[in-house]
Amino acid sequence: MSKWEENVRKVTPYTPGEQPNRPGMIKLNTNENPYPPAPGVLKAMTAPDGDALRRYPDPAASVLVNALAERYQVDPSQVFVGVGSDDVLAMAFMTFFNSEKPILFPDITYSFYPVWAEEFRIPFEKVALKDDFTICKEDYYRENGGIVFPNPNAPTALAMGLEDVEEIIRHNPDVVVIVDEAYVDFGAESALKLVEKYENLLVVQTFSKSRSLAGMRIGFAIGNPVLIKYLNDVKYSFNSYTMDQTALSCGVAAVKDEAYFQETTDKIKKTRENAKVELAKLGFSFPDSKANFLFITHPEYQAKDLFQALREEGIYVRYFAQPRIDNYLRVSIGTDGQMEALYAFLRQYMGKA
């Protein structure tokens, strides 16, 4: 090792899902939305505003902050936006988890949490999920430097009821509790209802899933104005954490089209409920999903073999080589046609065609 490498901050990097680009592939591996973003978003992209692009973007991102405040019935001072919820979460880790005590998050959860903790030198403890993959709220009633968990959790897809989420927040008044609601629009109860009541609650959401804008990178947080102020203090004005002008316009167009949002999330939920039936018929079991993906396992087939066989067929799902979940696959909900292709292949693979 070179001498200078002693001074490098070393982290175990996050392993993102593959982003292949094979013609005709069926991509069910990174929980993207199978439908395009709202028509207004595409219009905002094809009719760029040259004058707006000439200028720096508004560092406060006011147009989008205001649109979100209106949509979620909060004051603009309670809204923070960023370049994808990954950036918002990273910023929140940096801002709020500045304690010697370990932060707590589930052992099976979004695998970026330990990466940020390492990056920002935040001590952390992983809290084991119960045998049925649910979060045990009582395990979070102890000294800690902060708490973060997704609801629904990923990759299990299980949602916690709002009363349980509230219990965790209520038992931890001295630290910030971050509820990562990347998948909340597919059927879980949002903790947004609680932000007026708990000043230590930060709810983080994304445009990547229910608003079909993973490619644009838009995320946001809603919480007490004091939390939001601290986040804004940490964020620099014009660096990569600032959303560009086009993303701001597209984000506003996405938030304003409530009908399209309802229509597409309803369609995905319907396809998911049908997927539960079809996959159960094939012998799969799974925790009850409230997200846009299913976490499936089969008593007779190894997840890794299925993953490979599907991949060769051009159907991409997610496999995690991680203890306890290495016989599961995470399957994003695609269009009905894509899901039919998945069932058809599985039927044939299992000799049930």
Q: How far is the CB of 326 from ligand PMP (least distance, A)?
A: 19
Scan for tokens 């991409």, then name that residue: 316
Smallest distance, ligand PMP to C-beta of residue 146, A: 16
Question: Could you identify the residue written with the tokens 């069932």?
Answer: 343
What minimum distance in Å lies between the beta carbon of 208 and ligand PMP? 3
Q: Which stretch binds ligand PMP (CB under 6 A): 66-74, 82-90, 241-249, 307-315?
A: 82-90
Q: Which stretch binds ligand PMP (CB under 6 A): 84-92, 140-148, 276-284, 303-311?
A: 84-92
**Residue 317 contacts ligand PMP per CB under 6 A:** no
85 binds ligand PMP (CB under 6 A): yes
Report if residue 206 touches ligand PMP, rule: CB under 6 A: yes
Q: Is 219 in the site for ligand PMP (CB under 6 A)?
A: yes
Q: Does 110 engage in binding with ligand PMP (CB under 6 A)?
A: yes
**Selected binder of ligand PMP within 34, 84, 106, 334 (CB under 6 A):** 84
Q: Which stretch binds ligand PMP (CB under 6 A): 64-72, 79-87, 100-108, 280-288?
A: 79-87
Q: Which of 32, 86, 166, 257 binds ligand PMP (CB under 6 A)?
A: 86
How many other CB atoms are found less than 10 A from the CB of residue 281?
12
Q: How far is CA 179 from CA 69, 125, 250, 294, 301, in A?
A: 18, 17, 25, 20, 35
* The binder of ligand PMP chosen from 154, 157, 178, 231 (CB under 6 A): 154
Positions touching ligand PMP (CB under 6 A) are 84-86, 110, 150, 154, 180, 182, 206, 208, 214, 219
